[in-house]
Amino acid sequence: MTDNPIGFPGLGLQFDPSPVAFTVFGRGIYWYGIIIAASFLLAAYYTVRRAPRVGIRQDDFIDALLFAVPVAIIFSRLYYVVFNLREFTYDPVKNPYPQKVYEIWKGGIAIYGAIIGAVLTAYIFCRVKKLRFSALMDVAALGLLIGQCIGRWGNFINREAHGTRTDLPWGMEVFVNRIGDEIINNRVTVHPTFLYESLWTLLGFLLLHRVLTRRKFTGQVFLMYVAWYGLGRGLIEGLRTDSLYFFSTSLRISQVLGFVSCAAAVALLIYNWRFRTHDPATLAALDSEPSTDHGPAPETDEAGEVTLDVAGPEAEAAAVEAAVESVESGPPDGAGETVEQAEGAGEAEGAEQSEAGEETEAAPKGAPEEETL
């Protein structure tokens, strides 16, 4: 039990979760951290499984995660610090005990900073590894939606990231110290903006999950994510009471960034849909699922479909060996060749032709060029 229960008066609901889930050697393990970790693991599992659908090997995607996640955490903190310098600047009257930049466990991160850091890291990683950045981000965008959808419930446990007063039936009642410059120090009913964003990203995931295998060009899903999340964040940010502002202006930085990124993504989507021609066969060939052991990608036909060897490698090897033995033995001495011997020679010749044909079919095809945004 806490001294700040969470109520939904219009729905007749009340919750009182403790921010601390349990303790280990006297140190509290917080629900916020558990929820963020769970959201990351679920997002990682989903994206690693889906990566081969867009031609990205699973181990390459895991390597990208190992680089991108730490950088995303650092950028999420830097974004918060840069646009909230007053909490980290010493002032003998207003802030005699400023927060330390490295004390991330005391709170103070921003999702847009994490996204910027992850995207920059993914771009550099793809340049070094010679991977398709747009394809990797198509899958990564879905992981971001999963993480944002689940991670927002950490704000619910902490009674934070809520909005201004409301009398709507789903309003959330919590104890509030202040709203803007107004001192409250009382229980008020506010917009559950954490819930708005969680539901918005859930709906976005359900939509883009279906688009992934139906997209017209690489990068489409990522651009749709930028537009979808930017629009939602821009609208929801206007209701929040804990926004970061663009230095000394009245501009909410995440609201501006959300609307601007949405407009840019929509413009790029329209350009690709209306003014560029995208070949479905080329996209299908690029997205052909690679092997998981860094061997060659499977053979594809003209339509971009993966072709399978039904007989299998063991049957093929046996046929080749039989053909070689038949040729080396040769026909018996004398002119009395039997019908069976003639048939055996014909089968050996057919096996040699089959082997030669298989080698010709296995010749590597020219890889189609990558589509760019």
User: Nearest to residue 50, comparing CAs of 38, 39, 62?
Assistant: 62
Q: Specify the pLDDT at position 293.
A: 41
The total of other beta-carbon atoms located within 10 Å of residue 71's CB is: 18
CB within 8 Å of 192: residues ≥ 6 apart: 156, 162, 163, 170, 171, 172
Q: Return the amino acid letter for 137.
A: M
Residue 95's φ and ψ, nearest 5 degrees, are -150, 70
Look up residue 63 and give its two tokens.
């390597």
Residue 121's φ and ψ, nearest 5 degrees, are -65, -45
Condensed to tens digits (0 to 9), the pLDDT of residues 104-119 reads 888 899 999 999 999 9
Kind and range of the H or E run holding 18: none
Q: pLDDT category, 302, cuts 50, 70, 90? A: very low
Distance of CA 353 to the CA centre of its chain: 48
Question: Domain map of the chain by residue range?
Answer: 6-276, 312-361
Q: Specify the pLDDT at position 337.
A: 46
Q: pLDDT category, 300, cuts 50, 70, 90? A: very low
Look up residue 371 and give its two tokens.
């589509």
CB within 8 Å of 241: residues ≥ 6 apart: 162, 163, 164, 176, 178, 179, 180, 190
Weakest-pLDDT range from 287-301, 310-324, 357-371: 357-371
pLDDT(301) > 60: no
Long-range contacts of 361-368 (CB under 8 A, 24+ apart): 361/299, 362/299, 364/296, 365/299, 365/300, 367/285, 368/282, 368/285, 368/286
Q: pLDDT category, 319, cuts 50, 70, 90? A: low
Q: Specify the pLDDT at position 311.
A: 44
CA distances from 99 to 76, 83, 169, 236 (A): 16, 14, 38, 27
Q: Specify the pLDDT at position 222.
A: 98
Concatenating the DSSP letter of every residue in 309-361 gives -SSHHHHHHHHHHHHHHHHHH-PPSSS---HHHHHHHHHHHHHHHHHHHHHHH
Q: Specify the pLDDT at position 201.
A: 98
pLDDT(52) > 70: yes
* Contact criterion met (CB below 8 Å) for 181 and 159: no
CA dihedral 123, 125, 127, 130 (to 10 degrees): -130
DSSP alpha helices (H): ranges in the chain? 31-50, 58-82, 111-129, 133-157, 193-211, 220-237, 253-274, 280-286, 312-329, 339-361
Condensed to tens digits (0 to 9), the pLDDT of residues 186-235 reads 999 999 999 999 999 999 999 999 999 899 999 999 999 999 999 999 99
Residue 361's φ and ψ, nearest 5 degrees, are -65, -30
Gap between the Cα atoms of 194 and 183, Å rounded: 22
pLDDT(356) > 50: no
Q: What is the mean pLDDT of residues 321-347?
A: 50
Q: What is the mean pLDDT of residues 144-166?
A: 95
pLDDT(251) > 70: yes
Instruction: Map tokens 């970790």 to a residue.
Output: 37
pLDDT(349) > 70: no
Weakest-pLDDT range from 28-32, 157-161, 330-334: 330-334
Gap between the Cα atoms of 39 and 216, Å rounded: 29
Q: In this predicted model, which residue has the larger pLDDT, 294 or 78?
A: 78
Q: Return the amino acid letter for 252.
A: R
Q: What is the mean pLDDT of residues 128-151?
A: 96
* Contact criterion met (CB below 8 Å) for 74 and 118: no
- Residues of the chain with pLDDT > 70, as a percent, come to 77
Gap between the Cα atoms of 91 and 313, Å rounded: 74
Mean model confidence pLDDT for the chain: 83
CA distances from 133 to 64, 112, 192, 217, 359 (A): 11, 19, 36, 13, 33
User: Nearest to residue 205, comparing CAs of 153, 252, 259, 140?
Assistant: 140
pLDDT(160) > 80: yes
The model's pTM: 0.76
